[in-house]
Amino acid sequence: MFLIVGLGNPTKQYEKTRHNIGFDVMDALADKYNISISENKHKALCGKGVIEGMKVVLAKPQTYMNLSGESVAELVNYYKLDPESELIVVFDDISLEPGNIRIRKKGSAGGHNGIKNIIAMTGTQNFMRIKVGVGEKPKGWDLADYVLGHFSTEDRAKVEEAIGHAMDATVLMMQGEVDKAMNDYNSKNK
């Protein structure tokens, strides 16, 4: 079984913001594979289903971004999963342009507070992740204001394409093809 977690913030005011791109990818996976992400448990909205023959739990932590690890650790423990091989986390990255994704097998938090909390709560930074580009904050902007803001129409179109790539990469990663996913999608970045 795989736990696929999309990071974001709960409540309507954060829908479709840059910081909620992980939620957008979970919603797209749920739509494509007919999984209902509606069960509220382990501090997350969860849905169980099957993607390409593999059992999954899709999760959208409801703890707000900076405490995402509380939910992820509860889910990992409840399902008795190995975060180093059965966890995939999808989240926003300001160092990537909108439309680009980057896949990693493991790594540091890179300044992302949601990832920082997941590392702290699970006790490992060795989990697979998909970073979805939201673009660099403009000079003079507050970072929180930027990531909690909405995409331009042009950038949203690029992000929709990136969501599709993130979904395809997720399937490859679940199939044990992380290197292929990295080769296929990291190289698309400009």
Determine the pLDDT at residue 189. 61
Number of domains present in the structure of the chain: 1
**pLDDT interval class at 48 (50, 70, 90):** very high
Determine the pLDDT at residue 130. 98
Say if residue 146 carries a ligand binding annotation.
Answer: no
Residue 32: CB partners within 8 Å, gap ≥ 6? 167
Determine the pLDDT at residue 105. 96
Q: Contact at 8 Å (CB) between 111 and 61? A: no
Determine the pLDDT at residue 91. 98
**pLDDT interval class at 75 (50, 70, 90):** very high
**113-152 pLDDT tens trace:** 999 999 999 999 999 999 999 999 999 999 999 999 999 9
Query: Rounded mean pLDDT of the chain?
Result: 96
**What amino acid occupies position 1?**
M
Per-position DSSP letters for 69-124, written without gaps between them? HHHHHHHHHHTT--HHHHEEEEEEETTS-TT-EEEESS---TT-HHHHHHHHHHS-
Determine the pLDDT at residue 104. 97
Say if residue 113 carries a ligand binding annotation.
Answer: yes
Q: Contact at 8 Å (CB) between 94 and 132? A: no
Q: What mean pLDDT is predicted for residues 34-38?
A: 98
Give the structural domain span for 76: 2-186
Determine the pLDDT at residue 9. 96
Determine the pLDDT at residue 38. 97
**149-176 pLDDT tens trace:** 999 999 999 999 999 999 999 999 999 9
Which whole-number Å values give the CA distances from 173 to 11, 87, 107, 109, 180, in the listed order? 30, 10, 16, 20, 8
Q: What mean pLDDT is predicted for residues 45-62?
A: 98
- Residue with the two structure tokens 């992302």: 112
pLDDT > 90: what percent of the chain?
A: 97
Dihedral pair phi/psi, residue 41, rounded to 5°: -155, 155
Determine the pLDDT at residue 98. 95
**pLDDT interval class at 87 (50, 70, 90):** very high
Q: Which residues are catalytically annotated? A: 19
Say if residue 40 carries a ligand binding annotation.
Answer: no
Say if residue 185 carries a ligand binding annotation.
Answer: no
Q: What mean pLDDT is predicted for residues 97-104?
A: 96
Look up the CATH number of the domain holding residue 168.
Answer: 3.40.50.1470
pTM: 0.96
